[in-house]
């Protein structure tokens, strides 16, 4: 067992970095950028060192720490990671330095405070890691709600120039939506505490103890609904998605990458971490409803994406379709589909994050998000076009790129239990090809749009450094996803086994006993 308090270190480093960067004078913008990048890279190195010490075959949480915080109420500082949480932490620490470097000039306008912008990015990193690492439900709730603060200011203060009214509206809409879900979850968290006090004769928020509670089916349904609403809004799942397109369009590029690439995964992470193991009977009861919502979301998000003219809104709507696949895999309750769903979270963060980065590069060159303002850009920006094509093909799950193994696992795992749903969901892949290839064709091929040739350059050295690691991961996880699957699968299998859900038995003739002939 590792004696290094890895998770506490990972929480302290960006917190201290955020305070130092945020307190710098506005005139020291260049220093703020360099410090933020240094902190983000150091965090990545520390997380990789922790991951090297992680044992895939060991069940339960690793790198655990537990200290009483508010002892009278059973609240503690408890952290630990299994394969699911570790994979999402790694996604977070990979994307943050990419975001810092891609946002190098994004807040340079005279009326914007550059140090505060990068301080918000680092503080958001702290809260993201905290939500994935917390093993105390109250501590999780604190981090869950704290994430709203930096995102609110990133949207409201650092979104597109010249759209102040829309930015303010979007920031408030994002905050209200998520606060409503958070308040409902707080009621469920308090209810869970009361139930624990009745079962254990002392109230607790410790996740390990809460998993052992014997909660009546009716109470389980109420508590499940409270948690599920908050997670469905955060993800978001259809029909709780209406804040996402606005937030994706009005966020700065770096904020959009973290919002859709990582923050939304807190919602889908919460479903598999808390809803399923804490409320197994309610999970079985609600599963058909959630699966139906997931399938509707796949088609609804894809159809709306096809009709968009704003590139950032289009990418945001594609995420709604992808979250449908993630929810489908999660609530199919098979190890294959569940593993695919968690792997999908990682791959979606990479592919959609890269899409937002590329769109941000395009907008910085043309100062427009409208698809009609582009055309033929591959003639003058071939490297940008190539990266855009890789990101798009990854998003539509082309074999050989990262999203294909996760989507394949989700559909195969779902098919073993819900064949009709898996078949219907597979048709969503066709729609994904339509909206991605349509976007690429309209912006990168054909005749040059008016005004593109003058002053439009290809990717700079900094921009190439930004996209290179993400492209490398997209290709690597497409060709060889085994290390990530080996990390994730034991935790997923353990979660489903603990609630009594095992994979359906094979029904092929090969599975029949010897001597039995058809």
What confidence score (pLDDT) does residue 516 get? 42
Task: Give residue-wise pLDDT tens across range 423-447.
Answer: 988 888 888 888 888 889 888 888 8
What confidence score (pLDDT) does residue 518 get? 35
- Domain range summary for the chain, segments of one domain joined by +: 279-501
Give the closest residue to 46 by CA, choosing from 92, 103, 99, 85.
92
Task: Give residue-wise pLDDT tens across range 26-68.
Answer: 888 899 999 999 999 999 999 999 999 998 877 789 999 999 8
Residue 288: asked if its preceding bond is cis (omega within 30°), the reply is: no
CA–CA distance, 313 with 15 (Å, rounded to integer): 31
Task: Give residue-wise pLDDT tens across range 136-188.
Answer: 999 999 999 999 999 999 998 887 776 788 888 888 998 998 999 999 999 99
Do 182 and 266 contact (CB within 8 A), yes or no?
A: no
SS3 state at 374: coil
What confidence score (pLDDT) does residue 514 get? 46
pTM: 0.91
Query: In the chain, which residues have pLDDT < 70?
Result: 1-2, 110, 162, 453-455, 500-503, 505-518
Token pair, residue 144, equals 């869950």
What confidence score (pLDDT) does residue 168 get? 87
What confidence score (pLDDT) does residue 456 get? 75
Do 366 and 306 contact (CB within 8 A), yes or no?
A: no
């Amino acid at each position: 067992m590792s004696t290094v308090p890895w998770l506490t270190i990972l929480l302290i480093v960006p917190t201290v970095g955020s305070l130092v960067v945020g307190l710098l004078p506005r005139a020291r913008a260049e220093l703020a950028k360099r410090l933020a990048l240094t902190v983000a890279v150091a965090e990545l190195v520390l997380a990789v060192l922790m991951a090297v010490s992680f044992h895939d075959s060991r069940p339960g949480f690793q790198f655990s720490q537990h200290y009483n915080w508010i002892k009278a109420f059973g609240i503690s500082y408890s952290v630990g990671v299994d394969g699911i949480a570790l994979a999402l932490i790694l996604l977070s620490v990979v994307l943050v330095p990419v975001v810092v470097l891609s946002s190098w000039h994004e807040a340079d306008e005279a009326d914007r405070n550059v140090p505060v912008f990068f301080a918000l990015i680092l503080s958001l990193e702290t809260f993201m890691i905290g939500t994935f690492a917390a093993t105390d439900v109250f501590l999780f709730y604190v981090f869950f709600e704290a994430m709203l603060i930096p995102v609110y200011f990133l949207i409201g203060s650092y979104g597109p120039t010249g759209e102040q009214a829309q930015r303010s509206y979007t920031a408030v809409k994002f905050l209200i939506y998520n606060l409503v879900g958070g308040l409902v979850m707080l009621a469920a968290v308090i209810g869970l505490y009361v139930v624990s006090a009745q079962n254990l004769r002392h109230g607790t928020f410790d996740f390990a103890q809460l998993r052992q509670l014997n909660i009546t089916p009716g109470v389980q349904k109420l508590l499940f609904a409270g948690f599920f609403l908050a997670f469905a809004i955060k993800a978001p799942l259809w029909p709780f998605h209406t804040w996402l397109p606005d937030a994706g369009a009005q966020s700065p590029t770096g904020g959009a990458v973290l919002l859709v690439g990582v923050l939304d995964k807190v919602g889908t992470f919460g479903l598999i971490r808390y809803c399923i193991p804490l409320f197994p009977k309610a999970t079985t009861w609600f599963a058909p409803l959630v699966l139906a919502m997931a399938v509707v979301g796949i088609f609804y998000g894809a159809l709306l994406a096809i009709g968009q003219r704003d590139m950032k809104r289009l990418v945001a709507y594609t995420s709604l379709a992808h979250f449908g696949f993630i929810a489908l895999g999660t609530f199919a309750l098979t190890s294959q589909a569940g593993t695919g769903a968690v792997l999908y979270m990682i791959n979606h963060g990479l592919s959609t994050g890269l899409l937002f980065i590329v769109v941000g590069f395009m907008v910085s060159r043309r100062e427009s998000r409208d698809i009609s303002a582009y055309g033929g850009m591959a003639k003058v920006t071939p490297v940008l076009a190539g990266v855009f094509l890789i990101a798009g093909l990854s998003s539509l799950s082309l074999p050989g790129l990262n999203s294909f193994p996760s989507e394949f696992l989700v559909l195969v795992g779902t098919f073993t239990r819900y064949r009709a749903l898996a078949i219907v969901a597979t048709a969503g892949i066709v729609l994904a090809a339509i909206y991605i290839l349509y976007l690429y064709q309209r912006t990168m091929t054909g005749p040059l749009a008016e005004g593109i040739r003058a002053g439009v350059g290809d990717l700079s050295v900094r921009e190439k450094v930004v996209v290179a690691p993400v492209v490398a991961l997209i290709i690597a996880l497409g060709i060889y996803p085994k290390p990530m699957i080996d990390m994730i699968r034991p935790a997923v299998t353990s979660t489903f086994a603990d609630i009594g859900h095992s994979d359906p038995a094979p029904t092929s003739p090969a599975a029949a006993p010897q001597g039995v002939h058809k």
